[in-house]
A and B are shown apart, each in its own frame.
Chain A
Amino acid sequence: MTAIALRPVSVTLPGRIRRYVTTPDRPDDEKALVLSAQRGELEAFSELVRRHQRRAYAVARAIVTTHEDAEDAVQDAFLHAYRALHRFLPDQAFGAWLHRIVANASLDITRRRKVRDADELPETIASPFRDPAESDELRMRLSDALARLPERQRAVIVLHDVEGFKHSEIGKLLGIPEGTARSDLHYARSALRRLLQQLRSPQ
């Protein structure tokens, strides 16, 4: 069995949670974390959260329309992942497994939000929290244009162009064939260009 390269160094979280110092380059490292988390060590799962939360946020943010919903989706997804961890095979890629859970959580939030807000349609996609002023003109136009895209096309273009996911990965995340993801990307780009062009044109 491979030696586990983990070393608890300080107490920073509630309960018996310790911080792990890990070697990020070693593929076995993550497997060891997963195995530890499967044995019930919350600190190991906490380290997995630390490693994957940014990417998880990016996946969620591509699917939902607001920063707050993306945050909720990430939290829900990690909770689901923790509870389903015993079913995860440690030889698989934890990230890919987690991203599918995040995508499902995000789609679920989108569906619930749609039911809840059926009577009030937002005019634009909410901006990321770090720039609420939305001063940049292109960004404003882009927000307007994105709001007019079908949900799936928007998710596909963000996952591909912003997050660098491959078509096949996007297909798995959104539950669509790879070819559909490819064509969605093409149509999303064309639509955004056209919409931006219209917005640039004087009224």
Chain B
Amino acid sequence: MTINDVSTPHLVPDDGDAELTGALRALYAAPESADYWSALERRIVDRIVRGDSLDSWWTVPTQWVRVGLIAAGFALIVAGSLFLRSRAEQRQMAYDAVLGTPAGGPTIAIRDAQTERQATLNYINGR
């Protein structure tokens, strides 16, 4: 169960329990030794002086953002190259359709007007 999995129930007044509170305080009491606190302070300051990196809730999202940006950039490049390739193919097909005859495609005989006229004259003369 996570820290936010508990729903909000109705409120009932509760004044606590002296024995329970006393036991909790004993269990969770902070260290009392002055040396302990001096050492902790020194460790904190040392980390600041060293410029230690932090691996937690501020840097992890930054790392994920970095990874996300790299992935997005890569995806953009791939998508761009696919788009350009597809566009080039479409353009080639359009040229082929207008100017050329693709190999293996249907052959269309185009007779010019001159040839047709001559054929007609030949037919009439022949009769």
Contact = CB atoms under 8 A, between A and B. Distances in A.
Interface of A: 13-15, 17, 42, 45-46, 49-50, 53-54, 57-58, 61-63, 71, 74-76, 78-80, 82, 104-105, 107-110, 112, 114, 127-130, 136, 138-139, 142-143, 146, 150-153, 155, 157-158, 161-162, 174, 176-177, 179-180, 182-187, 189-190, 192-193, 196
Interface stretch (B43-51, B96-104, B105-113): B43-51
| Category for how many chain B residues contact A | 35 or more
Classify the interface of chain B: helix, strand, loop or mixed.
loop
B11 A186 contact: yes
Given A75-B47, A179-B11, A183-B11, 14 more contacts: A49-B41, A79-B47, A82-B48, A110-B3, A128-B28, A139-B27, A142-B24, A152-B6, A155-B3, A161-B20, A161-B24, A183-B8, A186-B9, A192-B20
Nearest to B60: A108
A189 B16 contact: yes
Interface of B: 1-6, 8-12, 14, 16-17, 19-21, 23-32, 37, 40-49, 52, 54, 56-58
A107 to B, nearest CB: 7
A71 B40 contact: yes
B29 A153 contact: no
